Amino acid sequence: NAVDPDVSARTVFIDVEEVKNKTCLTFTDDGCGMTPHKLHRMLSFGFTDKVIKKSQCPIGVFGNGFKSGSMRLGKDALVFTKNGSTLTVGLLSQTYLECVQAQAVIDSLPSLEAILNYSIFNNENDLLSQFDAIPGKKGTRVLIWNIRRYSIQE
């Protein structure tokens, strides 16, 4: 999503980091960030509002890329985004769904408690510190943990 034309990211950092004793894949950009509404839509299934800008086509147009891509890499993901006026965080978590024995995912829940109970951060200060890893006043940071391990069979 960071390379889509409407994001305006000049830099994208992709790293492997230890965060709270968990190996995480991190993706951090200096794009325009998202509003809470836009993050909610990004975490919802089947929604996209990507547009062509300066004759550059966006990657993905069906609204499932982030969800399927991140969950292929790991069981859990947090998205931190700031757009200059708002800090927003969203959780996409198979661990959470397993723990609450969800039979279906209907919509997201606005719950700091769920994030603190089912993510790698168990207090608000640690959670908020991740916004400091986003350079500048705008941008997005994604943490994926409970990384899936695959073996290559010959």
- The domain locations on the chain are 12-147
Q: Residue 42 belongs to what H/E stretch? A: helix 36-43
66-104 pLDDT, tens digit per residue, is 766 677 789 999 999 999 999 999 998 888 878 888 776
89 backbone dihedrals φ, ψ, rounded to 5°? -130, 140
Q: Residue 65 belongs to what H/E stretch? A: helix 65-73
- Average pLDDT estimate for 125-148: 94
CA nearest neighbour of 143 among 63, 39, 73: 73
